[in-house]
Amino acid sequence: MRNKILVLLTLLMFFSQSTYAEMLLFVSDSCTHCKNLEEELRAKDYFEQLTILRFEISKDDDNRLFYLKNAEELNYTGGQVPLLIDEGKYYEGSSQILQYLEQFIPKDTDTDLTPEDSIQLNEMLKASTLIDESSQDPPPKTSNKTKIIGLIAILFGLTIFGTIIWRARKKR
């Protein structure tokens, strides 16, 4: 009985963590649309505010195979980049991707900056060397959904574990 519960608990924790897929952004370093999209995402701090995993497919064979696998699973036949995949759906091209991502960003009513102003400000900061051009993409932050799912799985596991110990002590 104890082994069955441990196996069930292990499976529950594994599947609760793996059921939430992060946003996958497939790009190519040789694609100007991809570069422009990434600049805009950085300027709007989308990489900081959302969990977007970036995969460069023109130079990395593993990323290219991962792209093809995901495209096949979604019946995506466009073969283009930039391509964003989230929750079993795909969004191709800069405009579709930006339109999709905007729904996750809270509207800031305290600023008068337009997206164009934000991009210009970011370019001015880069020019003044406040932002290092050679830096890599920041590591993706864990989204709130992932944190909540993980917390629920841990609490459930602790509850099961506590129940098992309580019953074992009660039998003594």
pLDDT digits (tens, 9 = 90+) for 105-150: 876 555 566 777 777 777 777 666 544 544 555 555 666 677 788 7
pLDDT tens sequence across 78-94: 889 999 999 889 999 99
Distance separating alpha carbons of residues 92 and 80, to the nearest angstrom: 7
For position 17, what pLDDT does the model report?
42
Angle at which helices 2-18 and 144-171 cross, to 10°: 170
Q: What angle do CA 94, 98, 100 make, to 5 degrees?
A: 120
> Residue 140 has what DSSP assignment?
P
- The answer to whether residues 13 and 157 touch, using CB atoms and an 8 Å cutoff, is yes
- The answer to whether residues 40 and 94 touch, using CB atoms and an 8 Å cutoff, is yes
- The answer to whether residues 67 and 58 touch, using CB atoms and an 8 Å cutoff, is no
Distance separating alpha carbons of residues 49 and 96, to the nearest angstrom: 18
pTM (two decimals): 0.53
Strands (E), 28-139: 52-56, 83-86, 89-92
